[in-house]
Amino acid sequence: MQAKIGDGVVTSVTYDEATGKLTVVSTSGTVTYSTHQTIPTYDVELRDNELFVNGESKGKVSIDVPKVEVIDGKLYIDDEVQDLNIGTSAKVEVIDGKLYIDDEPTDIVVRPEVKVDGGKLWIGTQSYDLGLPSDAIAFLKDGEGVITGVTITLGDETASFKIQSNTYVTSLTYVPTNYDPIVDNVAFLPVVGTDENSEGLKGVYEYNWSKKDLYTNMVYGWVKMQYHVSPNGVPFENFEVVGLRRQDVNVLSRAATPTLDKVTEEDYVDGILTIRANALDFAIANNGNNYEDPDVDKTEMGDLAKVNQVALQLRNTKENNGIVTSDYVSVKRMVLLQKDLLIGLNKDKEQKSLKRGKFNDLAQLYKVSETKTDAYVADEGNVPVHLDVLFQEGIDLKPLIEGYANTAYTNTNVDLTFQQKALTDFGFEPTYTYTVESYDLAEVDQTKRYINEEALKDGLIEFDQKNTAAIGRHPVIRVNMSLDGGETIIMTKLLKISVVKELQVEETFTIDDLKDFTASCEKVEQYIDFDKIFNHCEYSKAQFVEAYSGKDKWSLFKFNEETSKWDNVTAIVTTDKSFVVLGAGNNSTILGTALDQNNRATIQMANTMKEGRYKLQLHFEANNTSVVYNPLIVEDEFIISQPSVYANINKTYWINNNAQFNVQAPNTAYSPDECIFDKNLNEFFVTDASGKAVLNYTPEEADYDCATAKFIFSTKATVVDAAGKKVSVIIDNNKIEKSGMVIAEIKDDHIVLTPSLATQELLNTGKFTINNVHLVVTLPNGELIAKDFNIDIVRPLNINPLATEAFTDAQDLGDEIGLDKILSMYDWRGEDYVVTFPGTKTTTPEKLGAFYDVKDISANNLPFVTTPIEGATDEYLLTNKEILTNLVNDGEGNWVPDNNLTVDKAKVTLPAGTNLTLKKSNGKWVLNYKTNMGTIVSTYKMWIPVKIAYKWGFVIGQVEVEVEPVK
């Protein structure tokens, strides 16, 4: 229940003895809990320091008054700081358990915590035995019988709730809106202040004041300050706003508090109370007579952190009629200089809507000293045309005019910049008036002769429809802004309009003459028919040419998938001539009259055009103001796709979707020179008569004769060994290197391995794989991947895993087997291609041994892990710990074979007392088996690791040899 209630204020706790249901009502909601039992309830009351349980007196109790003090403006109760800033000069005291600040009561109760816990009443640290059972509900009441808390005890679990009515306010907390690194949270009071143009005997502009100190307050905006009212749900009618209480870190005895606007119920929403305050009559500590706060002696400021602070005060009107004071917040002036106030339009010249930050700024009024005002106003550099207005329709200025600023100043060393921040955001309420600005140009008054001055007073621009001479004129209007209800003109700007017969608008017309196509070896020619463009404008061709010829151009754009924007590629395709508009000199798109043949644009695209999404844009600029569409933009999108291409594999050379690559079989002789890795990569695929991989295209009917194909190691190619471990290599399109040694190359469609140490190390693992080899097809506009495939390079030789003869146990001097009966290999073609060891004879197997350059046994080239036998020649003792067996302990200390064991699961090595010796006997290498571990009664197996050197490294494996019992 406590977890569900959280920080909510509990307003009641009830217990229904009939159902055993507890109900807790709080500002977080209502929570119920079924106890499934009947629990006794007790009323625990404190009356004038006397304890009562269910009306029976338990005697007097002692209640200590906590210590209350103020340190550095913070309230401390029993040495614990409270979340309340009350100022350094405040007077605090406790009367009847309530805190008083400067002789005014607050809602803060200052007495020890009173609660029931463990069947006892606790007052602070003192406890009094109530004699309650382990299961009980205790209602704690004050002297007036009002329940202030409830404790519920069930066995060893206890929950306590403090009961509080939400009919009165207990605390106010300021919700920060601005932060300053020097003075913490700040409420900035906005004002418009004078600038240097108001210092002289006469203002520089008509709206300036005269003989004023810099940064004198002119008008006052409102700052919104928000406070969280606790507990939630206190009705607005249960309290009233007293006002702002001020404390001055730097004391100013004559200063007043900020002016408060009226607070209504609409300002109190979801527990948040919003007030508005301004700086009228509010002197603030400052640091000099600049845009900071005026008329305060600089010496009084001292440090910038010494500022004025205010707190909001409420009075509860229904219950607990005390004053509630919020925490204090710093207040400082925020100055908008008069010269920084701007007036603008929220539409551009063509009446298209603009977003704030791009508003159409009106022009600066001329100075009072200006003698040539006509010339100033006529000059487009001073007063450009801001708005095109239709002669027939006119326009209402009121929805278009905005007041804003880009800069504000504070005395916290922080100047604030904005993007056309509305003056309403500073709490100002702008109003506007409109008057004509008379000026002569072209022998007429451009404004008074044509503008309806009466309509203008209501912000409406209207023209006498009989006075068509107004078309083409540039009337100028004064836009005057006030921030105090019209009492003071705070800023005037000039708005120049252009009276037009037609309101020219930018028009984008989309057509679909250029069709999507797939790239090939052919160039593509398509056409744009202009009739649909003429029809869209409701012109004949002759009219269209008259309106737009001479100011037309074309541009080509390509969509960038990474940025999701259109890139202009006109310069690129013009330079390489990959995109051509025939007959369009200097990008012109229309030539001639309605009788000429040029009624369409011919578009030629070379076969080098890259794939992608394109947009051809024809841009037409009008030759006169009577044309509605200016500019007219005709757009036609099309897509160039790449064909798909693939090559079918020759399944003979593929296993598990990987191509298989091995040494060539002996060709002309059994020479190691012919034992090479060299493969024509085309042979992995179905080939044509010339031996090249057959390429299959989609779409099939296009011309691909110019396409070329090649094999490369792709940029994402990798090399992995037989265990699947990625190998660190350097790869380019035609070569793979490791540690400076070449492993593989692609030459003339052949993949060739070099017998480097790096290559041998990879083959020693059994095989290695080159991933992401590409068969690449090149068209004039780019490359296609016909096949992305992997190649397994397989070690050409493997150890025959089974010896052809077995050892016999318990032989005098041991049992010997010729090494050729123990060791043999077969190559990649299968077990029929046997390579004997060593290969010194002339039979076919021995010739294969010569072909693979299998190395003869010597002291430096032994096939087993051995130790030389001291004093003997050509005798080597094999290392037992390297030899696995299928022997297991029978539990009685005997080794017995387990015929279910395989080499991968074997754990017992050849036992001590058993020796294998490699030696020469009668000029022939043999393996001698001798044991002293006792006579065996059944055959067992041993697995001997083998490593045989040949041209491409080592053949590594193990051979299984059986030991049979004596017969």
Residue 417: pLDDT over 80: yes
Dig out the tokens for 303 from the structure.
Answer: 């440090």
DSSP state of 666: P
Q: What does the H/E/C string look like for 625-676?
A: CCCCEEEEEEEEEEEEECCEEECCECHHHEECCEEEECCCCCCCCCCHHHCC
pLDDT given for residue 582 in this prediction: 77
Residue 625: pLDDT over 80: no
Range with the poorest average pLDDT among 149-158, 556-565, 873-882, 883-892: 149-158
pLDDT given for residue 84 in this prediction: 61
What is the average per-residue pLDDT within 752-770?
95
Residue 841: pLDDT over 70: no
Q: Cα 949 to the chain's mean position, in Å?
A: 57
Neighbouring residues of 306: CB distance < 8 A, sequence distance ≥ 6: 249, 250, 285
As to burial, measured by CB atoms within 10 angstroms (0-12 exposed, 13-18 middle, 19+ buried), residue 895 is middle
Residue 125: pLDDT over 80: no
Residues 389-410: pLDDT tens digits? 999 899 999 999 999 999 988 7
DSSP characters over 66-97: PPEEEETTEEEETTEEEEEE--TT--EEEETT
What is the average per-residue pLDDT within 73-95?
69
Q: How far apart are CA 576 and CA 621, in angstroms?
A: 27
Task: Report helix, strand or coil for 150.
Answer: strand
**% of the chain exceeding 90 in pLDDT:** 48
Residue 858: pLDDT over 80: yes
Q: How far apart are CA 843 and CA 372, in angstroms?
A: 119
pLDDT given for residue 137 in this prediction: 84
What is the average per-residue pLDDT within 428-450?
94
Q: Kindly give the residue spans of alpha helices, DSSP state H, lying in 357-418.
A: 373-378
Range with the poorest average pLDDT among 4-8, 459-463, 590-594: 590-594
What is the average per-residue pLDDT within 704-730?
95
pLDDT given for residue 836 in this prediction: 62
pLDDT given for residue 281 in this prediction: 66
pLDDT given for residue 162 in this prediction: 79
Dig out the tokens for 775 from the structure.
Answer: 């068969």
Of the pLDDT bands very low, low, confident and very high (cuts 50, 70, 90), residue 839 is very low
DSSP state of 4: H
What is the average per-residue pLDDT within 765-771?
95
pLDDT given for residue 589 in this prediction: 52
Q: How far apart are CA 212 and CA 192, in angstroms?
A: 13
**Residue, of 160 and 586, whose pLDDT is higher:** 160
pLDDT given for residue 317 in this prediction: 87
As to burial, measured by CB atoms within 10 angstroms (0-12 exposed, 13-18 middle, 19+ buried), residue 655 is exposed
What is the average per-residue pLDDT within 682-698?
96
pLDDT given for residue 43 in this prediction: 83
Residue 494: pLDDT over 80: yes
What is the average per-residue pLDDT within 87-93?
69
Of the pLDDT bands very low, low, confident and very high (cuts 50, 70, 90), residue 598 is low
Residue 103: pLDDT over 80: no
Range with the poorest average pLDDT among 295-304, 336-345, 449-458, 615-624: 295-304
What is the average per-residue pLDDT within 277-300?
50
Q: How far apart are CA 553 and CA 572, in angstroms?
A: 16
pLDDT given for residue 180 in this prediction: 60
pLDDT given for residue 96 in this prediction: 64
What is the average per-residue pLDDT within 369-376?
95
Q: How far apart are CA 173 and CA 200, in angstroms?
A: 46
Nearest to 87 by CA among 313, 320, 406: 313
Dig out the tokens for 554 from the structure.
Answer: 């074309």
Of the pLDDT bands very low, low, confident and very high (cuts 50, 70, 90), residue 296 is very low
DSSP characters over 201-254: SS-SSTT--SS--TT-EEEE--EEEEEEEESTT--GGGEEEEEEEEEESS--TT
**% of the chain exceeding 70 in pLDDT:** 87
Residue 18 φ then ψ, to 5°? -70, -40
What is the average per-residue pLDDT within 104-123?
71
Of the pLDDT bands very low, low, confident and very high (cuts 50, 70, 90), residue 300 is very low
Q: Cα 527 to the chain's mean position, in Å?
A: 44
Q: How far apart are CA 292 and CA 311, in angstroms?
A: 22
| Number of helices and strands in the chain (H, E) | 9, 79
pLDDT given for residue 307 in this prediction: 65
Range with the poorest average pLDDT among 468-472, 890-894, 913-917: 890-894
Residue 241: pLDDT over 80: yes
pLDDT given for residue 428 in this prediction: 93
pLDDT given for residue 784 in this prediction: 95
Neighbouring residues of 757: CB distance < 8 A, sequence distance ≥ 6: 741
Q: Cα 746 to the chain's mean position, in Å?
A: 43
In the chain, the N- to C-terminal Cα span, in Å, equals: 87
